[in-house]
Amino acid sequence: MSSQPRTTPNPATSKVLGALLGVHAGDSLGATLEFKPWRMIRTKYPNGLREIIGGGSFGWPAGHATDDTDLTRAVLLAYLDRSAHAQTHTTATPAQPFDLTRTAADHCLSWYNGDWPGRTPGSSPRDIGGATDTGLSNYEASGNPLTSGAGPDSAGNGSLMRCVATGLFTAGREDRIKESKAISAITHNDVRCTISCAVYNEMVAALLAGKTPAEAVQIGCEVASELDCPAVEAALRRGEEVSLEQFASEGPASDFPDWSSGYVLQSLSLAVAALLDARSFEDVLVDVVRIGGDTDTNGAIAGGLLGAREGVEGIPERWLEKLQFREEFEEGVRKMLG
């Protein structure tokens, strides 16, 4: 990582950077404890794990991206490609239609097939969710990202973890919702997943626009209602009721089992609870991870909202300096925001 000093970004840029690097930080912090239950974490880390140290079930180097950040990068690359495509055309040479969904699927497939930074060329991912594996395998076989999803009974959190770029770089609710759903459906086309991504990105966009966390959650609830998805709206309301600090210190309630299955609505509820927790980015994210289970993905999803709330300055520098894609994400944001 570069040791050169960085200038403080303006508030809007800070929130965009905060969201992307918040996903990365939550992923990298949680990777150490993935699949571990709350009781085991409490015994080893009574005050929570507060440093990015790597290791875990897959032996990650400290700060290395897992599938959560890798696939967030894949979607970000699609938005960078769209921006570059638009800039190469003028009114005299109109742009040909740009297929954002296919481009995102192609970048995900590159990751799937080992064409990725930090990987041996052609190697398989160390960690991949079942629906993601099925969806990308289907896409590779059919070439059609509109029909590749794992099906209506696969409601994991593997598309919610990667979706934040849409909330950051697409203007207008209608377009954000359309893109959120389409990019989710490459692998996760269950309505609970596609609507969760749409709702999440509306909350991200609201935070960028200066809305309070409570206002952002209310906007999410309105979108879930408009899209006729009571299950997602109920997950948002559940998050409003959760005391994250209590869950972390006393153990999760019965409907948040120690050994999380990676259920998308559980992750969404935890992310809302994190967003509404007024403590610092560090304290909140440490407690998200303390709950156990799918710690890297829950950390990534919550970290994106917290980063959009706090800005990049809210993320501890000692965490940022370890993140594999920090400089690339910073450069990508500079390109997108000028």
Q: Any binding-site annotation on 70?
A: no
Task: Show contacts of 129-132: CB within 8 Å, 24+ apart.
Answer: 129/67, 129/156, 129/158, 129/262, 130/154, 130/156, 131/156, 131/158, 131/159, 131/187, 131/188, 132/67, 132/71, 132/108, 132/158, 132/187, 132/188
Q: Which residues, including other chains, have CB under 8 Å from residue 196's CB and lie 6 or more apart?
A: 160, 184, 232, 235, 264, 265, 268
Q: Any binding-site annotation on 66?
A: yes
Q: Any binding-site annotation on 190?
A: no
Q: Any binding-site annotation on 153?
A: no
Kindly list the distances between the CA atom of residue 322 and the CA atoms of 6, 164, 275, in Å, as whole numbers in the listed order: 15, 21, 24
Q: Cα(105)–Cα(184) distance, rounded to whole angstroms?
A: 10
Q: Any binding-site annotation on 297?
A: yes
Q: Any binding-site annotation on 132?
A: no
Q: Cα(314)–Cα(192) distance, rounded to whole angstroms?
A: 31
Eight-class DSSP state of 259: S
Annotated binding residues for Mg(2+), as ranges? 66-68, 294, 296-297
Annotated binding residues, as ranges? 66-68, 294, 296-297
